[in-house]
Structure 1
């Protein structure tokens, strides 16, 4: 494979590829592009250590409501090369927790079994996320189509537990875990809205709030291709 073809395949410049072929080290952005192009992990690409290939599907991000770059799914923060740690934050993922179909839960006793690396510039500076108070879970069901689909992953800001604005939230209601659009209504009520028009709007009255717990606000969603 020539340098020109390799550059096109990885979506980086020919000059950069030429430098790397002579022993240069790619910067973070190009390293991620090369790793994705060849379906290998950043750890293996830069150090030769750790698993070579990803064991999870790639995710194409879509803005809900704020756009974000595609995250890297890693095993542990220690598996990421030291030179990348300053550029990324790591957010725990809960692969066994899903919302929208009305099953599951997310509380402080849950144990994360995945870790997603997001660029610090977006997560902290742009989106204002605190990685220690954030979580990633999966979406089940079709009630939020076309905004959210079954199998999507969503990033939750767990600091926002009071419906501070009209937005998409994850919440516990009785024994179910849901992801819905929440809007303030009259008389201290809240409207629970499914983006899929097949599902009816529901209204939460103050007397029902004892069985209601807000988990957090959805800040980003990744769509499974």
Structure 2
């Protein structure tokens, strides 16, 4: 969902408050490549609301629902109802607003999963929350979902280095071909998995430079941790 109109309105509001003076100041504040700014305003590119940019919006007191959908007030301080009645409430593995809101907050973990050779393992520390529109994820999946960063290039052009994936631990078995977070020996990887009729798995990297691997499903060195049910690109096209 594009945010060109919201970005333009926010620039004018911050300029009126003397928080920024120029478009370059605004781009620096919002982690925007200045060369891409005009394309963002024309909705030719999407502003990536990754955890870093989410923290920027939080510090500016921006209403995330307004920024994503264009609905409601620009600033949280403009919303008495939100301040009084819809503070985030923790539910198991996720944070969500009341049923009248359109945003779910998922936990972000500090580690990474490798889309390469698996040198980096998952760290279980939760470092914050990340907003996701409810329509992007089934409500029944939210409580078992989390967000973690991808490292490496083996899943390009589907996933790029430093993208964020939404993993669901309830879908950690044979729930159809798709992209999964897996543990292979002591490494955590994000790969496309194909379940074969002969009780084997084909581990596929979307990047053609990497070879496929076929392994038995019953292998103590392989564990399917979570299915990837969505992702957020940090990569600018």
TM-score band w.r.t. shorter chain = 0.5 to 0.7
The answer to which of 93-102 and 136-145 deviates more is: 93-102
Distance in 2 of aligned mates of 1:133 and 1:92: 10
Distance in 2 of aligned mates of 1:118 and 1:159: 18
Which segments of 5 or more consecutive residues in structure 2 lack a partner in the other structure?
Answer: 15-26, 33-46, 64-75, 77-81, 87-96
Q: 2:126 aligns with which of 103, 106, 112?
A: 112
Q: Deviations over 1:129-185 (max 9, x none)?
A: 31x311111111111111111111111112111031000001111011111110012
Change in Cα spacing, 1:133 to 1:89, as seen in structure 2 (3 Å) is: same
Give 1:22-171 correspondences, 5 Å limit.
34-35=9-10, 37=11, 71=49, 73=51, 74=54, 81=76, 82=82, 85=97, 86-101=101-116, 102-106=118-122, 110-124=124-138, 128-130=140-142, 132-171=143-182
Distance in 1 of aligned mates of 2:13 and 2:128: 18
Q: 2:211 aligns with which of 200, 217, 221?
A: 200
Distance in 2 of aligned mates of 1:99 and 1:90: 24
Q: 2:226 aligns with which of 192, 216, 220?
A: 216
Distance in 1 of aligned mates of 2:226 and 2:113: 14
2:183, 2:222 within 8 Å by CA — same for their partners in 1? yes
Q: 2:184 aligns with which of 151, 169, 173?
A: 173
Aligned-pair Cα RMSD in Å: 3.6
1:99, 1:170 within 8 Å by CA — same for their partners in 2? no
Q: Secondary structure of the residue that 1:129 maps to in structure 2?
A: helix
Change in Cα spacing, 1:153 to 1:55, as seen in structure 2 (3 Å) is: farther
Q: Secondary structure of the residue that 1:143 maps to in structure 2?
A: coil
Change in Cα spacing, 1:55 to 1:174, as seen in structure 2 (3 Å) is: farther
Q: Secondary structure of the residue that 2:137 maps to in structure 1?
A: helix
1:87, 1:119 within 8 Å by CA — same for their partners in 2? yes
Distance in 2 of aligned mates of 1:168 and 1:151: 16
TM-score (norm 1): 0.62
TM-score (norm 2): 0.59
Distance in 1 of aligned mates of 2:199 and 2:193: 13
With CA pairs under 8 Å and 6+ residues apart, which has the higher RCO, 1 or 2? 1
